[in-house]
Amino acid sequence: MDIILESANTPSQELHLIPCQIDHNGPAKVSSYFVQTPSADPATGKPCSTATFRGRQLYGTKNHLPAMYTGNVYSQRLDHDMEESDETEATHECFETFKEFTVWKHDSAPDESTDAFFTGMAWAGIAGYVSW
């Protein structure tokens, strides 16, 4: 199957990775319903953000992408003639871009030295300097 990625010129958006399942994909009025306040991590005392989602307290830390990267969020475009196609090609279009995202956890803020989202971004930054 061939995958075609179409880019779009969209302004950078705020992205949140929260520890729950939401039966919705796409834009949401995050600033209206997911109110963030500056706070301190109860476990370490480090600065973080707090928010409440579905009655649960969450602690979040921003994670910045390495300077040479931009994140893209893609969605598969459904063509009306999909039934007639042989399904060997799928087109995905970019509907959001981001340069940072907030990782949220219950009980305490994510640990930047051990959390997979933070260590993964550190490795991505290092990879730009490695030559094979």
Backbone angle region of 56, left / alpha / beta, with phi > 0 → left and psi within -120 to 50 → alpha: beta
| Domains assigned to the chain | 2-127 (2.40.128.680)
Identify the residue whose tokens are 């995202």.
101
Tens digits of pLDDT across the chain (132 residues): 666 776 767 777 788 888 888 888 777 787 788 899 999 999 899 999 999 988 899 999 998 888 888 888 887 776 655 555 556 677 788 878 888 999 999 988 888 888 888 887 777 767 767 766
How far apart are alpha carbons 111 and 61 in whole angstroms?
Answer: 9
What's residue 79's pLDDT? 62
What's residue 102's pLDDT? 92
How far apart are alpha carbons 55 and 103 in whole angstroms?
Answer: 18
Query: Which residue, among 106, 112, 105, 27, has the nearest Cα to 63 in the 3D structure?
Result: 112
What's residue 85's pLDDT? 56
